[in-house]
Amino acid sequence: MDRKALVNQIRSKKSFLCIGLDTDLNKIPKHLLELNDPVFEFNKRIIDATKEFCVSYKINTAFYESRGVKGWESLVKTWKYLPKDCFSIADAKRGDIGNTSEMYASAFFNEASSQMSFDSITVAPYMGEDSVKPFLKFDGKWVILLALTSNEGSKDFQNLKVGSDMLFEKVVCKANEWASDEQLMFVVGATRGEAFLNIRKQAPTNFLLVPGVGAQGGSLEDVCKYGMIRDCGLLVNSSRAIIYASSGLDFAEAAAAEAQKVQKQMENVLQAIF
Ligand SMILES: O=C(O)c1cc(=O)[nH]c(=O)n1[C@@H]1O[C@H](COP(=O)(O)O)[C@@H](O)[C@H]1O
């Protein structure tokens, strides 16, 4: 999906919500466990109930890989079920020497080889240019590079001063030399509200994937205040707060209500630009 199509979705759905399918067998409603593929059944119902309120789904592959072959089957089935008008994110946080990154890129972008072709993948920048470039060779696909993450440990490396800048600022600045804002996004945690001003100095036009609202307590208001640009430029992710809104029979309805609540807040903010 190209930037224009993504922005059109945001404009027409009045939402820049990305729902995270961090689907955990231990957290899904017990009545689903009797079904053949409980993770897929859960995802399917969550997607059906929430797709009108969001523009993107992020599949955190750890939750699937942890279950071996069965988990990978749930992953492929879920990718196939994602609505085609929603921007799909393989949250795999990959990156390795060039020939290995090529294989990772093929795993998530090359449908002929892996049966999946996500719109984007999250990539760790630590190994530098040749570890990121193989993902950028796929036309129309996006790299979402970790910049300033939402967790406590982000300060261990990302906030280190390198010359006059922080390391995460260097990452953003350098990576913008490798690809355009039609193919490169950055992850910036919602728990880092004040840092959006800095990020926007280095990445004035890139879309940002912003996890950390909901369960991690980040402020949607601050994210929008400091991070929103002319064509929105934001995808705000929420996983647990939406998909586990209820653990009962009403789990899909509860997820929809939660997603709608966030979408309404987004609609208000979007009025300023669309
Ligand atoms: O890249 C990510 O998606 C990510 C980066 C980050 O800095 N923080 C972060 O929480 N995430 C992911 O975003 C999701 C957040 O989930 P919730 O806290 O349940 O909304 C998880 O899938 C995390 O792996």
The number of residues in the chain equals 274
Distance (Å, whole) CA 110 – CA 232: 29
Q: Looking at the predicted structure, is the pLDDT value of residue 86 above 80?
A: yes
Q: What is residue 193's predicted lDDT score, i.e. its pLDDT?
A: 76
Q: What is the value of pTM for the model shown?
A: 0.98
In terms of Cβ atoms closer than 10 Å to its own Cβ (0-12, 13-18, 19+), residue 43 is buried
192 residue type, one letter:
R
Q: Report pLDDT digits (tens) over 178-218.
A: 999 999 999 999 987 778 888 999 999 999 999 999 999 99
Distance (Å, whole) CA 253 – CA 80: 22
Query: Which of 28, 126, 158, 187, when mutated, tests ligand 1's pocket best, judged by the most ligand atoms within 8 Å of its CB?
Result: 187
Distance (Å, whole) CA 80 – CA 60: 15
Residue 44 bears catalytic tag: no
The ipTM, to two decimals, is 0.98
3-270: which CATH number, 3.40.640.10, 1.10.10.10, 3.20.20.70, 1.10.357.10?
3.20.20.70
Q: Residues lining ligand 1, judged by CB closer than 6 Å? A: 20, 22, 60, 91, 122, 149-151, 187, 189, 211-212, 214-216, 237-241
> Which residue is it, tokens 């979007």?
270
Q: Report pLDDT digits (tens) over 236-265.
A: 999 999 999 999 999 999 999 999 999 999
Q: What is residue 195's predicted lDDT score, i.e. its pLDDT?
A: 84
Exactly one of 44, 93, 133, 170 is catalytic; name it: 93
- Where are the domains positioned within the chain? 3-270
